[in-house]
Amino acid sequence: MSRAGRRAIAALALGLAVLAATGCRKPKPSILIISIDSLRADEVTRVEDGRPVAPTLAEFAKESVRYTNALSAAPWTTPSMMAVMTGMPAPAHGVEEHDRALAASVPLLAERLRQARWRTGAVSPALTLRPEYGFSRGFDDYDFEPLGHDVVTSPKLSGKTLHLLDRYRDDRFLVWVHFWDPHYNYIPPAPYDAQYRIGVRPAREDVQCLKWIENPLPPDGALYLHGQYRGEIAYTDKFVREILDHLEKLGRADDTIVVILGDHGESFQAHGWLGHTIRVDQDMTHVPIMIRWPGRLAPAEIGAAAEIAQIGPTLLKLAGLPYQDFGLVPPLPLAPAEAAADSSALTQTLRMGCYTGLVQGRWKYQLDHRTCAETLFDLSTDPGETRDLAARDGSALAAMRGALRARLEAIAAAKVPRAMLPQQLIDETEAALRSIGYVQAATGTAGHEGEIVCEALPDPTKYKHDAFGDLQVFTPCAADGAPRCLQQLP
């Protein structure tokens, strides 16, 4: 055989060896995370007048692994999205107020992916996602432009995301966009403002003020706001479609894992309250999690308890990267057969209301840190949490109390370091939040004859001023409130 023939055979053998070696490896996917502010789980597939409210989300749900019993880490954005990025529940990462920051030693999802040579970019429209909290760490591009409650934002956010996808089109990437419009104020543009018009328009619609007062509106006023909120979801859905279509146009749909989630829910006085932040009822914390990877993940519905902190380790696992040392929760099950019957989901708020909630199986347990009062609901028969079974089912109550105790003990044992923003940044953050209505209306009180009065600025002569924002008015939650209650309970 000639030398050229031997070289050809050797080259062929080498090529086959390379193919054999690489063929057994899983491809390294790109990742697109679309978080939608205030998106409740029950709105994703809702049908009104014979049509889906959010057709893109409804179609995406059918193409995805969908977690139907998922909880946000908290009923507001900062601690919930930090849970996604760290793989840690809110009580673990500690960024549960506007004056906290993530400790520098706590790793983030974007850092792990950038270290593995993914390009990383994010589009952030909210002060609750400001870089100083730690959100920008690990991102090559962190497009932070805080927008107010009275601005329509989806076109701008979609445009920025399309630009990022174009820039990264030839690379392996992580892109995260946080859509903002479903957040109050509920101001869907025409024709979406008339699409779900129900109830009676109330005299006041400034939810940032109204949400601090129990039952601030008559039922038909709350119903009107719910319809406008639904219009905002329908409007945002159009821009989610724009991004997914662009991914397809770039030829990147099949090699990109797409995650769509809500950061928290939204309440319309089902339990007496508007908006979010202050309680852990299901309407404020039950959120969608959907993961799509065409050809790699079979669409399925998984009903076991899940929490959004599990998204981070799940994405690292799917990307073929080490995930066992990331965060404090396991990856999400990717098929119904993988779901554990004893899985639990933890949620907590330390703002005005001091509550921790835990879902496990069909049960939802809530603990009030201030009073140590417990409530227990069977979500399989009472998804609206209208019948408290704490006094009637002692065995279930004890089991859920024990499950929460175990979760919090594991978090304490991990000894995750805590950090605070520097005082200058705390002052800047409070001023910025006040400028868009976050803090200025937080002192809502019931006035004469039912009139609602919202003070423009907290008065330091009337309120404790060494606390942040809303906590100047409302008694701050004790940092050890939940563990202290659990020590006192049986």
Give a yes or no: residue 442 inside a domain. no
pLDDT, tens only, 376-422: 999 999 999 999 999 999 999 999 999 999 999 999 999 999 999 88
Give the mean pLDDT of the chain: 89
Residue 402 lies in a domain: no
What local confidence, expressed as pLDDT, does residue 109 receive?
Answer: 98
For residue range 262-280, list pLDDT tens digits in order.
Answer: 999 999 999 999 999 999 9
- Judge whether residue 469 has pLDDT over 90: no
pLDDT in tens, 277-302: 999 999 999 999 999 999 999 999 99
Token pair recorded at residue 337: 């057969």
CA 251 to chain centre: 28
The amino acid at 58: A
425 lies in some domain = no
Please say if the pLDDT value at position 13 is more than 50: no
Output phi, psi for 36, to 5 deg.
-120, 120
Which CATH number does the domain housing residue 284 bear?
3.40.720.10
Residue 390 domain flag: no
Q: What is the pLDDT of residue 409?
A: 97
Number of domains comprising the chain: 1
- Of the chain, the percentage scoring pLDDT greater than 90 comes to 75
Q: What is the spatial order of strands in the sheet that 344-349 belongs to?
A: 344-349, 355-360, 363-368, 374-378
In-domain check, residue 375: no
- Give the range of the structural domain holding residue 83, as residue numbers without chain letter: 27-339
* Closest among 265, 262, 244 to 55, alpha carbons compared: 244
The answer to whether 205 and 268 have CB atoms below 8 angstroms apart is no
Q: Model confidence at 466, in pLDDT bands (50, 70, 90)?
A: low
pLDDT given for residue 441 in this prediction: 44
In this structure, is residue 475 part of a structural domain? no
Residue 249: is its pLDDT beyond 60? Answer: yes
Q: CA-CA distance, 336 to 338, in Å (whole number)?
A: 5
Does the residue 3 lie in any domain? no
CB 72 within 8 A of CB 262: yes
Closest CA to 345 of 384, 303, 383, 317: 303
Whole-model pTM: value is 0.91
